[in-house]
Structure 1
Amino acid sequence: MAKRLSNESAIGDVLKEFIQTNKLQSGMDKIDVEAAWKSLMGNGVNSYTKEVVLKGSTLYVSLTSAVLREELSFGKEKIIKMINDELRKEVVTAVVLR
């Protein structure tokens, strides 16, 4: 059973405890990485993005444009750094563009 928190806990603390207790952090990271991709890449890249999936610490991005895929492949390290900076923790260690 989960430990009971006092009635005076902040909602953020309660949510963190709930996420930890139920082992939901990996699912939350998947959602956060997808949102970070959309906000950081802008409308131009997002219009050619089919799918953004986080498996483990590898980010898989499906693109509909081979030219865009080639351009983004030159900046993989920058993409990793930007996403991790946006999330304020190291979630992504590799990017695979498909």
Structure 2
Amino acid sequence: MAKRISNEGSVGDVLKHIISQNKLQPGMDAIAVQDAWFSLMGNGVKTYTRAVALKGTTLYVELTSAVLREELSYGKSKIVSMINEELGREVVKDVVLR
């Protein structure tokens, strides 16, 4: 019977290795950015948000309120910095509000 090779490591390290080997990081980033959007923006913005998508380094947010879209357009750089701070690294470089 073959012996099992002992590769000791923490679960976090193993998951990071699996994510990097299988090129799953963009999908993980998309989920993390969507969660960050809803947690940072609060219930008022959440109500008017139809879709949140990350394509490359651009965050696309579809809103149902034109007034809210205009209001948020003034703080795009702050939104980018808040989301990147929440994630702990630079994932988003631009925000497009639709």
* Bin of the TM-score, shorter chain as denominator length: over 0.9
Q: CA RMSD in A?
A: 1.1
Are the counterparts in 2 of residues 5 and 14 from structure 1 also a CA contact under 8 Å?
Answer: no
Scaled by the length of structure 1, what TM-score is found?
Answer: 0.93
Which protein is bigger by CA-based radius of gyration? 2
Are the counterparts in 2 of residues 48 and 65 from structure 1 also a CA contact under 8 Å?
Answer: yes
**Aligned-pair CA distance for 1:9:** 1.1
- For residues 28-78 of structure 1, give each alpha carbon's deviation from its aligned partner in whole angstroms, at most 9, with x where no partner exists: 000000000000000000000000000000000000000000000000000
SS in 1 for 2:70: helix
Q: Superposition pairs for residues 3-14 of structure 1, below 5 Å?
A: 6=7, 8-14=8-14
Scaled by the length of structure 2, what TM-score is found?
Answer: 0.93
Per the alignment, residue 58 of structure 2 pairs with: 58
Q: 1:5 to 1:88 in 2, by over 3 A?
A: farther
Q: 1:72 to 1:44 in 2, by over 3 A?
A: same
Are the counterparts in 2 of residues 34 and 52 from structure 1 also a CA contact under 8 Å?
Answer: yes
Percent identity of equivalent pairs: 66
Per the alignment, residue 33 of structure 2 pairs with: 33
The runs of 5 or more residues in structure 2 that have no matched partner are: none
Are the counterparts in 2 of residues 80 and 94 from structure 1 also a CA contact under 8 Å?
Answer: yes
SS in 2 for 1:47: helix
The runs of 5 or more residues in structure 1 that have no matched partner are: none
Moved over 3 A (4+): none
Per the alignment, residue 97 of structure 1 pairs with: 97
- For residues 16-36 of structure 1, give each alpha carbon's deviation from its aligned partner in whole angstroms, at most 9, with x where no partner exists: 000000000000000000000
